[in-house]
Amino acid sequence: LQNLSNVHPHAPHYNTTKTYTYKTQPPPSSLSILATAHYLPAYTGANSPLRPIALCFHSGSFIIGHKDAIPKAEVDFLAWDHGFIVVSIDYSLCPQVSLREGPIKDTEDIYRWCREVLPRLLAREEDRVEVDRKRMEVLGYSAGGLLAISTAFLPNPPSMIIDFYGSKDLHNPWWTLPNTNKPVPGFPSEFINQVFSISTIPTSFPTLSPTSPNFIMTPRLAYLLGRIKDRLSIKKLMKDESDYETVDSAARWNTPSGVQNF
């Protein structure tokens, strides 16, 4: 799509933001998992074109992060300059759930929801935005990059995937050799293990810099840093060895069925 400010001079200079529940976790968590859609409303005095969707996955090593961590400048660039409906999402966070049963399953569900449910919601609401169901872009950062790539193996894969330094090739020794390049502080195991004291599966956790005045060291952050230090972050998030074959894009592409969508 072209720059909408040039094509439609009456287009408003702001994005509409609406948050939806795209799924509910099974008991005992039963938490609502949220998706926020950012888009321009229909234009005054002009027919609104069909809008493609840009589905965005945040970073955070599958342990921290939230849907609002997607940079606002990128949301505005996609929504305002290029007419996308930008969908940023929360997803179930490890280690309360495995990577396969949490983030990957949520990715499959949100991808289906964006194609089947969101177009109906936007069409019937006051903005009357029409979705181009045939055009969908997916992008992700780090952990979110792995989730973005996983959509390539779904029915009706996206027309474009943008992977910003995504996790991949998970059998590579890099993921298991101790990290000696950067000093990471140690934490008492009693403190780290408090991350498992809650029975619910979190769907968001703030990402603050250690230099932020609001930064507080929590068991979840200690767990994350410990996994970075011993390079067991991926292995600890797997339910068993077979998970590698269903979440690692490098492993999936190396099978005959892995390229069927291309």
Count of CA atoms in the C-beta half-sphere (13 A) of 27: 0
d(CA 100, CA 105): 6
Task: Tell me what pLDDT residue 1 has.
Answer: 45
Residue pair 127/16 in contact by the 8 Å Cβ criterion: yes
**Residue 1 falls within a domain, yes or no?**
no
C-alpha to C-alpha distance for 226 and 220, rounded to whole angstroms: 10
pLDDT digits (tens, 9 = 90+) for 205-234: 987 766 666 677 889 988 888 877 777 678
**What confidence category does residue 262 fall into, taking pLDDT thresholds of 50, 70 and 90?**
very low
- Cα separation, 100 vs 96, whole angstroms: 12
6 lies in some domain: no
Q: Is 160 within a domain?
A: yes
Does residue 179 lie in a domain region? Answer: yes
Angle formed by the axes of helices 105-116 and 143-150, nearest 10°? 60
Closest CA to 16 of 113, 141, 128: 128
Asked if residue 212 is part of any domain, the answer here is yes
In the chain, how many domains are there?
A: 1
Name the pairing type of β-strands 32-39 and 16-24: antiparallel
- The CATH number of whichever domain residue 119 belongs to comes to 3.40.50.1820
Q: Please indicate, yes or no, if residue 4 is contained in any of the structural domains.
A: no
Domain span including residue 205? 16-42+50-253
For the cut 90, the answer to whether the pLDDT of residue 172 exceeds it is no
Residue 25 lies in a domain: yes
Strands (E), the chain: 16-24, 32-39, 51-57, 85-89, 131-141, 160-164
Per-residue pLDDT tens over the stretch 35-55? 999 998 876 545 567 899 999
Inside any domain, residue 197 = yes
